Amino acid sequence: MTLAARLAPFLPTRLIAAAAGLVYPRFEPELARLDDLCPPGCGTAVDVGGWYGPWTRRLAGRAHQVVTVEPVPHLARLLTSTAPANVRVVRAAASDHQGTARLWLPSGDEGERGVSSLVRRDIHGRALEVPCVTLDGLGLRDVGFVKIDVDGSELAVLRGARGILTRDRPALFVELESRIQPIAPVVDLLAGLGYAGWVLPGRTWLPLDPAALEAHQARASYVVSQGLLRRVLPFLGGPRYVNSVLFLPDGRRPGPRPEGVRDHGAHALRKAPR
């Protein structure tokens, strides 16, 4: 367990939420590039796996409505009480069916680490029974952007959103980690729906190469154990661990300047030699 995770239970949750909002764009630089992901004037943006709300709060300034799906009870309550007025919080886990499900957490963790999941891994030691919903079942309209960070159940979330993906063609920002689940099923599902992936290893978006992403994650997997604080402090250095993919439909490209994606220079995710 990292230092931040040890301290979190002793700190006010609102302080943790404020700190997360401040440092998260360094941890996940795509959050600072919302022009590329969620254009101003977006109708509905969806944050699946809200945690302390760093994405929810940023999206609230760009979309007419934000719907945040968060299954951890005290985090959902925090988001409900602190989020802007245009945010609707759904206290549930998103999946491909409605009902109830087991949400797995590490022993002694109340959700602070952000690694709760419907998919049990070796880090998980206990479970909560939580409501389970599909995005298609939430009655959403005019969905322009969906962010999904659910530590392994991304495929189920997407299956439960087929109607939205077919009707509204939103941009998708999906966490994909080969150390948790194979990434090919998600890539294949979205390719079948007309979506192509993009990654941001540096300053330029590059077309997703699944094999290169897996190779990068294998090389940089040690970074994951360093915790959020160590990964965002610039003087500690180290490589960035890329674990999220922007999926756009119908030939769309990220960024305000489409020509920017043509720069395929040397980046961390250059395909490894065979």
Which pLDDT score, from 0 to 100, does residue 203 have? 86
Q: What is the mean pLDDT of the chain?
A: 82
Q: How far is 30 from 244, CA to CA, in rounded Å?
A: 9
How confident is residue 238, by pLDDT bands cut at 50, 70 and 90?
A: low
According to DSSP, the residues that pair with 147 across neighbouring strands are 47, 173
- Both tokens of 162, joined, read 């087929």
Q: Flag whether pLDDT at 191 surpasses 50.
A: yes
Does residue 15 belong to any structural domain of this protein? yes
Question: Residue 258 has what pLDDT?
Answer: 42
**Res 136 pLDDT > 90:** yes
Inside any domain, residue 141: yes
Residues 6+ apart with CB under 8 A from 122: none
List the structure tokens of 228. Answer: 């959020």
| Structural domain contains residue 258 | no
In a domain, 263, yes or no: no
Least Cα distance to 90 among 81, 82, 80, 98 occurs for 80
Indicate whether 86 belongs to any domain.
yes
Range of the domain at 165: 3-251
- Sheet of 171-175, strands arranged across: 87-90, 63-69, 42-48, 143-148, 171-175, 244-249, 195-199, 206-207
Residue in the structure block whose two tokens are 């009707």: 167
| Pairwise CA distance, residues 194 & 162, whole Å | 12
Query: Residue 160 maps to which CATH number?
Result: 3.40.50.150
Query: In the predicted model, what is the mean pLDDT of residues 101-105?
Result: 91
Residue 261 resides in a domain: no
Query: Could you tell me the pTM of the whole model?
Result: 0.82
Q: What's the total number of domains in the chain?
A: 1
* 220 within some domain: yes
Round to whole Å and give the CA distance between 68 and 83.
10
The confidence score (pLDDT) of residue 114 equals: 77
Residue 85 falls inside a structural domain: yes
- Average pLDDT (146-150) is 96
